[in-house]
Amino acid sequence: MSEAGRLGELYRRHAGDAARLAYLVTGDRALAEDIVQEAFVRLYGRFRDLRNPDAFDAYLRRTVVNLARTHFRRRKVERRHAPPLSEEPTASEPPDLGERDELWTVLQSLPERQRTAIVLRFYEDLSEVSTAEVMGCPVGTVKSLVSRGLARLRETVPRSE
Amino acid sequence: MDPDLKQMLDRRAEDMRLAPDLPPVTLRRAHRRRGWSVAFASMTVLAVITGTVALVQTFGTTTTRRIGQSPTPPAPSESTPPPPVATGDYAVPAIWPETNLADIQAEQAAVDAGSDSWRTDPAAVGQRFAHDVAGWDDVAVSVSWIDPSNGLGVVHVVDRATFDTALTGAMTLDLAQVGRKGAGGVWSVEGVGPDAVIGQGIDLSCGTDPFVRGAPATLCGTLSPALAAGTTIRYALFDGDGFDVAAVDPVSFADATDQGTMVIGLHDRFQTEFAGPLDTNASLLLVEVLDSSGGVVAMLTQRIGRQRAPVIHHSLSPTTTGPEPTTAPSTGVSDGAPPAIARALWPVVTPARLDDLGQDVANGKADYALQADTTAKEFAVRMLGWPSDRVTVEGMADGIVYRGVPGVQAIVQNADLGPSTALIVDLEPATAGGRTVWLVVGVQSELFHVLCPPLHQSTLDTSSPLDVCGAVAPTAAVPAIASATVEYIESEMQPSEAQSLAAIKINGVALQGRLQFNAAYANSDVSFVVRLIGSDGTVLAMEARRLHVA
């Protein structure tokens, strides 16, 4: 199979999962789609060098998380240099029409790293060790990020009965 | 909460759908990215060739070379095979002008015969490197440190045309005499570090395992906050087969495995992903700092790999305090690496005190030392006096890998001080009482950076006053004073009778002062600490290093 064909096959198999992860981390569908496309562009040409091709999803997951982080970092810089009048709202995009999910809203208001850690732990079902690997940080940091994020969610959103 | 959260995430995720097939535009972008790399490489080579022609015109018959490019034989032949590897699996650590021992030996013979006398002069080598590689035509070169017995040296090169208070237009060259040591031996450039890069410079270990074959790796670091806006960073990664000369010799930008540019981000940090080294043994990373017009204002090279070339080691800290114990306690470092305790600033700095720390940990009196983030926080509380309830560890990143010892970097924030004021604490693991503890080995701040003595300087000359200079971040727009201290490392950064202290003036974004030594500190390690202190006495920021006095 050609490299392009292999890319297409990998896209069919993994892009959906990657897009869902990107969406949960960024809260922005269009941005999530862009991130996934960029991730595949970046990973193109490296397939034959993968030490463990079965671990492609792990590489992709990490790339998606890093690209999301890059996006948020760039946005912070833009904000820092933006004129005061152009101040943006905190959320990454206006809430979807009909948005009533308070938990989702609060999740999106968390700091990016806390949100990423929570998504990886509770949506991707990754262990703390795997989450740390994806985020490139110590396990203790993951514990701290998840703990703080959950605490924030708990104090803002009452537990459902 | 957790089930609710899980259900919400699952439900939300279902809202996100993609077309099942790869969009043609994505495939095209992938091809374009690959094509762009080739085009970029071609443009770079063209630029280098153009520069080379100009330099040949400037230097007459002098041959100019690029990083990683071997010298051209006098009468090159297309069928000329590459010279043999002279030192087993590895070539030498030199990156310029030659990259292998055979060529260096040939150059040594030429020098002995009366040619290329500049090769025996470290300053001249620095000057020629600046001309040939960075394109700096009018430079000032100062020799910072030479160790003739080991054939090691450091020179600083300043480009008069671009140098300013931000210390753009400055680079530090690590030199080595790979063949003959001492007088008459030829000097080679072993590595390049831009003075503008602060913190631990280029940190290659942000990723989980940057050396996994084919896996993406992360390149990140921090630039001086005083750098002009519009600065970008360009990087290129070269793979070498364990620096087998046959593989490395043809290296040029056209052979870069991956290359790209980065913009300076929040807190003057930069970070990008690049293709992980294809070879598991060694690769060479070239990083250039470019000004807004694309001119090279600083440059850095770093070799990365699982194994280092055995020919020569350039120690960051050539000597340590006092004699090493004959039965040194296990410090949790890999074979051949100096123990972390030899670089430690806090909480303990000697093997004996490391044992004490182990006892304290065993007794539950120093639990903070068991985790890097808690150690960093404790450092901020005890050494800067920051209120414990206002200090948070904003993030952790993998720190510099020093001879196989993975360090970590903690970003410590004081909530009272606002954004862009974080303390950056470098830590390394050591073993105490059978348990891993964390030691602070370096401290920087986002508020300021000490540029002289330069970060790469590992020794201190106390025979004359020490000039201290640096740059303060524009964000540090608060009334503040600065002080610099030097004292025996055994004081563990606490004031002692032997402390040397000086006030450092702050003028705009510039720090400038001179430290008179109260003691000689001969044959000892010392802590060099610069503090930025607010009008209410709060220590706003700190930079601390461990240096050796010969």
The pLDDT value recorded for residue B337 is 43
The pLDDT value recorded for residue B114 is 92
Burial B52-72 (b: 16+ CB within 10 A, else e): beebeeeeeeeebbbbbbbbe
Query: How would residue B132 be classed by pLDDT, with cut points 50, 70 and 90?
Result: confident
Asked whether A114 and A156 are in contact (CB, 8 A), the reply is no
Closest by Cα among B29, B27, B36 to B259: B36
ipTM of this model?
0.82
Between B460 and B42, residue with greater pLDDT:
B460
Pick from A12, A77, A137: CB nearest B265 = A77
Give the chain A residue whose CA is nearest to the CA of B409: A137
The pLDDT value recorded for residue B333 is 33
Q: What tokens were used for B339?
A: 């123990």
Q: In chain A, what residues touch B25 (CB-CB under 8 Å)?
A: 37
A77 touches B: beta carbon within 8 Å: yes
Question: CA A114, CA A22: separation in Å to the nearest integer?
Answer: 14
Q: How many CB atoms lie within 10 A of CB B9?
A: 20
Query: How would residue B439 be classed by pLDDT, with cut points 50, 70 and 90?
Result: very high
Residue B127 CB partners (closer than 8 Å, separation 6+) = B139, B141, B157
A147 touches B: beta carbon within 8 Å: no
Residue B231 CB partners (closer than 8 Å, separation 6+) = B168, B223, B264, B289, B290, B291, B292, B297
Between B288 and B534, residue with greater pLDDT:
B534
Calculated CA dihedral for residues B462, B444, B282, B90, nearest 10 degrees = 10
Write out pLDDT tens, residues B104-123. Answer: 888 999 999 999 999 999 99
Question: CA A106, CA A91: separation in Å to the nearest integer?
Answer: 10
The pLDDT value recorded for residue A84 is 40
Verify whether the Cβ–Cβ distance B214 to A153 is below 8 Å.
Answer: no
- Give the gap in angstroms from C-alpha B339 to the nearest C-alpha of chain A: 22
The pLDDT value recorded for residue A113 is 85
Q: Considering only residues 105 to 124 of chain A, which have any Cβ-Cβ distance to chain B shorter than 8 Å?
A: 107, 113, 118-119, 122-123
Using DSSP's 3-state secondary structure scheme, residue B43 falls into helix
Q: In chain A, what residues touch B213 (CB-CB under 8 Å)?
A: 49-51
A36 touches B: beta carbon within 8 Å: yes
Between A43 and B283, residue with greater pLDDT:
A43
Between A87 and B141, residue with greater pLDDT:
B141
Pick from B13, B272, B372: CB nearest A20 = B13
Write out pLDDT tens, residues B8-67. Answer: 898 888 888 887 777 765 665 555 444 333 333 333 333 333 333 333 333 222 222 333
Using DSSP's 3-state secondary structure scheme, residue B60 falls into coil
Report the side by side order of strands in the sheet with B296-305: B258-263, B232-240, B282-290, B296-305
Give the chain A residue whose CA is nearest to the CA of B275: A46
Q: What tokens were used for B27?
A: 């495939």
Between B58 and B150, residue with greater pLDDT:
B150
The pLDDT value recorded for residue A93 is 41
The pLDDT value recorded for residue B509 is 66
The lowest-confidence range among B32-36, B359-363, B477-481, B537-541 is: B32-36
Query: How would residue B486 be classed by pLDDT, with cut points 50, 70 and 90?
Result: very high
Verify whether the Cβ–Cβ distance A41 to B278 is below 8 Å.
Answer: no
Write out pLDDT tens, residues B322-355. Answer: 223 222 333 333 334 457 888 899 999 998 899 9
Write out pLDDT tens, residues B508-532. Answer: 767 788 999 988 998 899 999 999 8
Asked if pLDDT for residue B73 goes beyond 60, the answer is no
Query: How would residue B505 be classed by pLDDT, with cut points 50, 70 and 90?
Result: confident
Verify whether the Cβ–Cβ distance A138 to B272 is below 8 Å.
Answer: no
DSSP B356-416: HHHHHHHTTS-GGGGSHHHHHHHHHHHHS---GGGEEEEEEEEEEEETTEEEEEEEEEETT
The pLDDT value recorded for residue B256 is 66
The pLDDT value recorded for residue B110 is 93
Verify whether the Cβ–Cβ distance B395 to A113 is below 8 Å.
Answer: yes
Question: CA A4, CA A45: separation in Å to the nearest integer?
Answer: 9
Burial B246-278 (b: 16+ CB within 10 A, else e): ebbbebbbeebbbbbebebbbbbbbbbbbbbbb
Write out pLDDT tens, residues B405-421. Answer: 566 778 888 888 866 67
Percent above pLDDT 70 for chain B: 56
Which residues, listed in sequence order, are joined to residue B258 by a DSSP beta bridge?
B237
Between B393 and B323, residue with greater pLDDT:
B393
H-state helical runs in B60-120:
101-112
pTM of the model: 0.40
Q: Average per-residue pLDDT in chain B?
A: 68
The pLDDT value recorded for residue B308 is 30
Cα–Cα distances in angstroms (integers) from residue A9 to residues A14, A50, B251, in the given order: 9, 16, 34
User: What number is the average pLDDT over the span B379-388?
Assistant: 92
Burial B384-401 (b: 16+ CB within 10 A, else e): bebeeeebbbbbbbbbbb
Asked if pLDDT for residue B315 goes beyond 60, the answer is no
Write out pLDDT tens, residues B218-276. Answer: 666 666 554 556 677 777 776 654 333 333 333 345 556 667 777 666 555 666 666 65
The pLDDT value recorded for residue A21 is 93
Verify whether the Cβ–Cβ distance B12 to A104 is below 8 Å.
Answer: yes
Verify whether the Cβ–Cβ distance A140 to B13 is below 8 Å.
Answer: no
Q: In chain B, what residues touch A77 (CB-CB under 8 Å)?
A: 263, 265-266
A53 touches B: beta carbon within 8 Å: no
The pLDDT value recorded for residue A9 is 82
- pLDDT digit string (tens) for chain A, length 161 residues: 666 677 788 888 889 999 999 999 988 888 888 888 888 877 765 555 555 666 778 878 888 888 887 777 655 544 444 434 333 333 344 334 334 478 888 888 888 888 999 999 999 888 888 888 888 778 888 888 888 888 888 887 765 44
Percent above pLDDT 90 for chain B: 17
- Give the gap in angstroms from C-alpha A19 to the nearest C-alpha of chain B: 7
- Give the gap in angstroms from C-alpha A37 to the nearest C-alpha of chain B: 6
Question: CA B434, CA B348: separation in Å to the nearest integer?
Answer: 16
The pLDDT value recorded for residue A134 is 86
